[in-house]
Amino acid sequence: DTEVTQTPKHLVMGMTNKKSLKCEQHMGHRAMYWYKQKAKKPPELMFVYSYEKLSINESVPSRFSPECPNSSLLNLHLHALQPEDSALYLCASSQVDSGGSGELFFGEGSRLTVL
Amino acid sequence: QQQVKQSPQSLIVQKGGISIINCAYENTAFDYFPWYQQFPGKGPALLIAIRPDVSEKKEGRFTISFNKSAKQFSLHIMDSQPGDSATYFCAASMRKLSFGAGTTVTVRA
């Protein structure tokens, strides 16, 4: 069983809706990540939080808004999304933000469909 | 612009056979090379990783071969089993992970 828990597993939303994806880890990791994965493609980095501070934003559109309330939680707030934003959104964590040179632990993802 | 090129896109192997996946990179600043395994409906999971000062690393049936001068590395799955059927991503890291395009491996019983 994954130690990174993501909710919800599936989400369908309209282009005018506001919704949030949630991620939780209890491994004491201080770096947390959001990735987007399209079918049959590799994960694409969106955001990195290190010690609860945003350290990397991969030029993600402002309709995606990350939040790290504490060292165990990571949220991704969604607003005014487009159908092309439909994808699997993966949360990951690692002991520290060591430039990606440590093991990333991924959750099972939230499957998002934008109508 | 993909920083890590992975091939083949897919492969089929018989049970007990050897699966080989190849990756190449250009950026010599990369200092960590992991392989991730992803099953349908699941997130990727670290399978095995290597650093550029080592030429080979073996963990069970999985071996990474690393050729620093050629800027290439590969994953060998020995004695492939149906449970190894998954998508495999190579990756390289400097400040962040750059993933290859992925290889779907199907092991036929």
pLDDT score recorded for residue A47 = 96
Residue A70 clears pLDDT 90, i.e. is over it: yes
Cis before B8? omega within 30: yes
Residue B2 clears pLDDT 80, i.e. is over it: no
Helix/strand/coil for A89: strand
Judging contacts by C-beta atoms under 8 Å, the chain B residues touching residue A45 are 96-97
Quote the mean pLDDT of chain B: 95
Burial call A23-35: b when 16+ CB within 10 Å, e when fewer: bbbeeebebbbbb
pLDDT score recorded for residue A96 = 76
In angstroms, the CA A74 to CA A69 distance is 7
pLDDT score recorded for residue A36 = 98
Beta bridge partners of residue A94, listed in sequence order: A31
In angstroms, the CA A75 to CA A94 distance is 16
In A18-77, the residues whose Cβ lies within 8 Å of chain B are: 40-43, 45, 48, 56
Judging contacts by C-beta atoms under 8 Å, the chain B residues touching residue A55 are none
- What DSSP string runs through A25-36? E-S--SEEEEEE
Residue A18 clears pLDDT 60, i.e. is over it: yes
Number of neighbours of residue A95 by Cβ within 10 angstroms = 14
Q: Kindly state the average pLDDT of the residues B17-43.
A: 95
